[in-house]
Chain A
Amino acid sequence: MWIVPLEDEAVVFNPTSWETHVLNPAASLVLARAQSGECAVADIEQLLCDVLDQGERLRAGEHAERVLRELVSLRLIVERHTG
């Protein structure tokens, strides 16, 4: 997978699907984190919590779930269930 950061966004080329995606800042951040290794939903929630405006922090879990769902649907990350 090729990822090119463009300011706080990113473009991604997925060689499996041959598709290009433009990612918003949150999705770019999450994908970069996922690239560095396996992580839990709670890690992503914390990651977003660190960059969200104060008023949005309470909704970090909701944002994390939505971004993860979108990245999974684009086949840029895979979901693993543990336990």
Chain B
Amino acid sequence: MRDGIGLDFGAARARIRSDVHELGNVLADIYRSFPLEEPAGFFDVTVRLRRGRGLRRYLRSQIELVFDGETLFAPFPADTHLPMLEWGLNHVLAQRLGFHLLLHAGVVERDGRAVIMPALPGSGKSTLTAALATRGFRLLSDEFGVVRLSDGLFLPLLRPVALKNESIELIATFAPQATIGPRFPKTRKGTVAHMAPDDDSVARRHEPARPALIIFPRYDPGVELEVEPELPSRAFGRLAVNSFDYEMLGPAAFGAVSRLVSSCRVYRLVYRDLDRAVAAVRELLSSCR
């Protein structure tokens, strides 16, 4: 891991270097379907996850993430290496891919049509994304909806789905065939585990998808299932709010979000049962062009 490993996520490539020995095995498991890239090649980002220095190497050992020579975040406990790496990658990819419109959204695809699920953290976006990815939808991303400004297509930025707390066992039960990595308890977001993308999604990670359906998901244990059309103007606002770089891109982002809202069907979906939620998404998608 000292020379690093290279990973190609589709819309971006990352080089990861680390002296945290345990990380190698975990990455091999979670990125199992990804071919390893030659680390001497070109990468959009290079991050280094390193063990703490001085006493912190040995006493309640910590790790830190370095990007462009600067340490990102306060150090994490050493046993949360993968969550720190994944959050760090989110952070640096959001900075480096500013030439695309980046939505905070899960994205899956079926029959050439993309389903975009923008949401704020804690809404159940990752759980629904993971559920769809295990029921015949191709996974493009759990975290970033990457809109190519030149043609409005969604580019995969394929990485593991970060599951938190109750959703870990929910997905493990819903899809026993899914590969879910080790549980990391006591992170800043509670217990975190990562679901590996399937082979087909990895093989097709350079294949863009045409947006067809936008769903604003929300998990609510008190609601069986609710599907309501969303007003286009309200959908516009929610997409802009869920974008990492809307303000920076200005008119280009305005044009991209306008085209998205005008060309897609848009719904709010409140769910508690994953089987019913997946069936609802399938039905909504079947009515899209």
Find out whether the CB atom of B254 lies under 8 angstroms from the CB atom of A2.
Answer: yes
Measured CB to CB, the nearest residue on chain A to B255 is A2
Find out whether the CB atom of B254 lies under 8 angstroms from the CB atom of A9.
Answer: no
A7 within 8 A of B: yes
Find out whether the CB atom of B262 lies under 8 angstroms from the CB atom of A4.
Answer: yes
Interface size on A, residues (CB 8 A): 13
B236 within 8 A of A: yes
Measured CB to CB, the nearest residue on chain A to B250 is A18
B261 within 8 A of A: yes
Partner of A22, one of B233, B246, B250, B251: B233
Find out whether the CB atom of B251 lies under 8 angstroms from the CB atom of A2.
Answer: yes
Find out whether the CB atom of A4 lies under 8 angstroms from the CB atom of B258.
Answer: yes
Find out whether the CB atom of B247 lies under 8 angstroms from the CB atom of A18.
Answer: yes
Contacts of B250 in A (CB 8 A): 13, 15, 18
A9 touching B233 in the complex, CB below 8 Å, given contacts A20-B240, A20-B254: yes
Interface positions, chain A 1-16, Cβ under 8 Å from B, are: 2, 4, 6-7, 9-11, 13, 15
Interface positions, chain B 216-263, Cβ under 8 Å from A, are: 231-234, 236-237, 240, 246-247, 250-251, 254-255, 258, 261-262
A6 touching B236 in the complex, CB below 8 Å, given contacts A11-B254, A13-B254, A20-B254: yes
Partner of A6, one of B232, B246, B251, B255: B232
Interface size on B, residues (CB 8 A): 16
Looking at chain A's contact residues, the main secondary structure is: strand
Contacts of B237 in A (CB 8 A): 22
Find out whether the CB atom of B236 lies under 8 angstroms from the CB atom of A15.
Answer: no
CA distance A10 to B262 in the complex (A): 11
Contacts of B261 in A (CB 8 A): 6
Measured CB to CB, the nearest residue on chain B to A24 is B233
CA distance A11 to B251 in the complex (A): 12
Contact with B along A48-80 (1 / 0, CB 8 A): 000000000000000000000000000000000
Find out whether the CB atom of B233 lies under 8 angstroms from the CB atom of A11.
Answer: yes
CA distance A4 to B261 in the complex (A): 10
B-side residues, CB < 8 A to A, are: 231-234, 236-237, 240, 246-247, 250-251, 254-255, 258, 261-262
